[in-house]
Amino acid sequence: MLKLLLPTVVLTILSGMLAAQDTTAQETYPQRHYQTQRATEAPTIDGSPTDAVWDLVEWSGDYMQFEPNPGDPPTQQTFFKILYDDRNLYVAYRCLDDQPELIEQRMGRRDQFPGDWIEMNIDSYHDKRTAFSFTVSASGVKGDEFVSNDGNNWDSSWNPIWETKTQLDSTGWTAELRIPLSQIRFSAGTDQVWGIQSTRRDFRMDERSIWQPRSRTASGWVSRFGELRGLRDLQPRRTVELQPYVVAQRSTYPAEEGNPFVDGADNRISAGLDARIGVTNDLTLDLTINPDFGQVEADPGALNLDGYQIFFREQRPFFVEGQNIFDFNLSRAEAGGRHTSDQLFYSRRIGGRPHRFVSSEADRSYYVDQPSNTTILGAAKFSGKTSSGLSVGLLESITEREVATIDLAGERSETVVEPLTNFQVGRIQQDFRGGDTYVGAILTGVQRSLGDDPELGFLHRQAYSGGVDFTHRWDDRSWYVAGNTVLSSVSGSEEAILQTQTGFEHFFQRPDADHLRVDSTATQLNGSSGMLKVGNLGGNFIFETGATWRSPGFEINDIGFMRNADEINYFGWAARRWQQPFSIFRRFQINGNVYSTFDFGGNLLNQAFNTNSHANFTNFMRAGAGATYVPYRASKTDLRGGPILRQSPGFEYFGYIVSDNRKKASIGTQGYQFRTFDGNQVEGSIEFFVEWQPLDAVSVNFSPRYSTFARADQYVAQLDGESGTEYIVGAVDQRTFSTTLRLNYNLTPDLTVQYYGQPFISRGRYRDFKQFSGEGLADKFSERFYSFGPEEVYFDTESGIYRLGPDGRFEISDPDFSFIQFRSNMVLRWEYRPGSELYLVWSQGNTASGVPGDRLLRSLGRNVFNDEVRNNFLIKVTYRWLR
């Protein structure tokens, strides 16, 4: 083990030495400031800053390049003016261009940043960590983001109410913005100073220029802003925003003979309310009652065989907006790794599919009407940041008790499938030393009203977690140390806790895990998690190293996302970057990574060494490639509660190349493969994408993907044998194909039509069944398994049962599968007044099981467009009222 750890230690020491000895000259620039004035009258927002009131202030320019040649003058200069009054902040831009006919006026949906654009970042808290960003493209498309963690997080889900217009003329293009002061946060003060930064993108030169110069090798973004001065006697405003909505929906689908719940059509009309109330100008209360997410894009298709949960990104507006406040990633790392997806709060747990499923497939004498999702009765968020640097976030949501209705020969009955549940999250962070240091804490809770429902005894009655985190930066924010620690506790019936102990994330029943013990009488399970890392992101030699752990009893999946407990992960990352153009490169970076994983019993589970590089070329193409050497692998989950199973070592590599995205049409491809040295596991994927913008208002995105997965020891089943549990594996050949198509048509910046479609198929075939030998850590594959000969395998085609062994004593169901899914929607979105929207939605969905023996594309074609497609039609109208 020491031999395996030695390269890790060497890389860590070398990375620190390189960072410490990096003598790259970092340019230092004086802090700029802009002096604004109070407007005597409001300018007309028409895109042309010619109103006399603009003469109260001077133009400010002298932007400098940030990319590709930091510190050089930009190809085209930019100027801005800023005014304010009691209710609004006004910004005017003049973007010079000596070839105005070549200005890219590409259209897009909000927050897509198409073509040429100009942006203003406003640090109104002046905390040097957070900012509000307002972007407008030359075509008039708006973008807005909330910036946090000194520019490391940009949240585009923030959608404030503001107004902008643009115009083209003979010298370039101009823009005007009206930003209500109610949409940004600031504290009371007679004479205020805010941080500001402005960025312009010259699309055809692929160039970014900034108003406040900043070294490319410096760390931090918001902390490097210039200053906006002259804001006097501003009074923070307490806002009230109400957004009621009405939804009418109709679903059509094939009727099922004899099933009273599947008659071919459903109709529904509902209403709800979203509200935002300014408790103070710093702190805001968001409410939603009976939220509707019918316009949200469907999740992509996914199917894996390793047993781990699949992480889906949050897309529902109420939970997406401001989610950075509640972010508590257990082990974020520059090196990446599977453990970096673990989150203490995963909002997809709220309103998800009911935990209990009642099926009528086995007995058609009765039919079941089961809800597909849990109804969210209401939710509230209290969030903001005070002038003292204290960030606060509180969230509470209640989901309804859900029941399934059973029809037995006309007799109706109900059975509960999900209890009434309450979710809470509380998050605070306090800044120190001007934002260079912060300390935070988080608490989460889940309470389920299980009552006397014995069907729900497998659920936790209560689940709590709490933790603290910190980040400390020094040496001009180049160096940092960060960490966190979390405690978790779940409680419930003996059945619930036993299921947790023996579930996939824990597997306390592993026969070779001397450090674990199943307690069938326990009604509570406790655990801990933590992470500590140190790094340097200043200069051209940068690095990060650290470790993270999840104790065996750590459990957060009632409200968070965790792939696996009982792990200790070490990660190390170092990079050399070239920020200035040279030779054929605009930018170039090479990285090195090391990874080690152990369980709490001291068993080594993974050792890997990776290198990868990424380049932007002077011809505006991008490319990258990498390789990973995996000398040791072992899994404590492959046998689903059985002993640790050693996996064959191997080699992994990937590459990608992307053409010039300034063109009307751009293409790219990426590929990946992992192969063990003995050939017992081979997996790979290849993906293409095409982006085409035939007109400024029309864009097309098409991205097909094909992947393969072949493994000789894929888990199939575990059976009771004469000497204990027997584990059966087989050689699997899995092929997966999917493609995503997006079509966008922008009639105006506020009226868009988008189509999204994704057919998906994954097919798996099994052969060469084997029996686990009991020697999970044997060096040779043949010593870990006994292969059944042809005379020991019999398949009953009528029952779909395999009988294995010399006497056919092992019986397993046919594991072959063919999973097919098609999801699509077409959404017309019209923002008929700022913040108020009309949605017209048509969505289609279909899930089917194909024939595993069919060819992949033939099976996909037969099932995607069959008669089982479900169509949903939805009209949603919202009205946003602001005081």
pLDDT at 81: 97
Contacts of 618 (CB under 8 A, 6+ apart): 581, 584, 585, 586
The residue type at 324: N
Which amino acid belongs to residue 828? L
Backbone angles phi, psi at 834, to 5 degrees: -50, 120
Alpha-carbon gap, residue 127 to 149, rounded angstroms: 11
Short-list 760, 675, 763, CA closest to 711: 675
Whether 8 shows a pLDDT value over 80: the answer reads no
Closest among 401, 409, 679, 636 to 511, alpha carbons compared: 636
**pLDDT tens-place string over residues 641-650:** 999 999 999 9
CB neighbours of residue 406 within 10 Å: 18
Per-residue pLDDT tens for 464-490?
A: 999 999 999 999 889 999 999 999 999
* Alpha carbons 740 and 547: distance in angstroms, whole number: 37
Lowest-confidence segment of 155-159, 267-271, 862-866 by average pLDDT: 862-866
CA neighbor of 715 nearest in space, from 309, 310, 306: 306
Q: Judge contact between 179 and 134, C-beta under 8 A.
A: yes
Pick the more confident residue, 384 or 401. Answer: 401
Collapsing DSSP to helix, strand or coil, 44 comes out as coil
Give yes or no for a contact between 209 and 200, defined as CB atoms under 8 angstroms apart: yes
∠ CA(372), CA(375), CA(376), 5° rounding?
140
What are the structure tokens assigned to 171, written together? 């010298």
The confidence score (pLDDT) of residue 297 equals: 60
CATH class of the domain defined by 31-234: mainly beta
Q: Residues near 9 by Cβ (< 8 Å), separated by ≥ 6?
A: none
- Of 530, 606, 119, 139, the closest CA to residue 338 belongs to 606
pTM of the model as a whole? 0.87
3-state secondary structure of 588: strand
What's the pLDDT band for 850 if we cut at 50, 70, 90?
Answer: confident
What is the rounded distance in angstroms from the CA atom of residue 68 to the CA atom of residue 65?
A: 7
What is the torsional sign of CA 712, 713, 715, 718?
Answer: positive
Backbone angles phi, psi at 325, to 5 degrees: -65, -35
pLDDT at 184: 86
**Binning pLDDT at 50, 70 and 90, where does residue 226 land?**
very high
194-212: pLDDT as tens digits: 999 999 999 999 999 999 9
> Which amino acid, one-letter code, is at 489?
S
Q: Are 643 and 510 in contact (CB under 8 A)?
A: yes
* 110-168 residue pLDDT tens: 888 889 999 999 999 888 888 999 999 999 999 999 898 888 888 887 888 899 999 99
Cα gap 197→208, rounded to integer Å: 13
Q: Which of 722, 750, 883 is nearest to 829 (CA)?
A: 750
Strand ranges (E), 618-750: 622-635, 645-647, 650-658, 665-676, 681-695, 698-721, 724-748
Residues 6+ apart with CB under 8 A from 119: 133, 134, 135, 136, 143, 198, 199, 200, 201
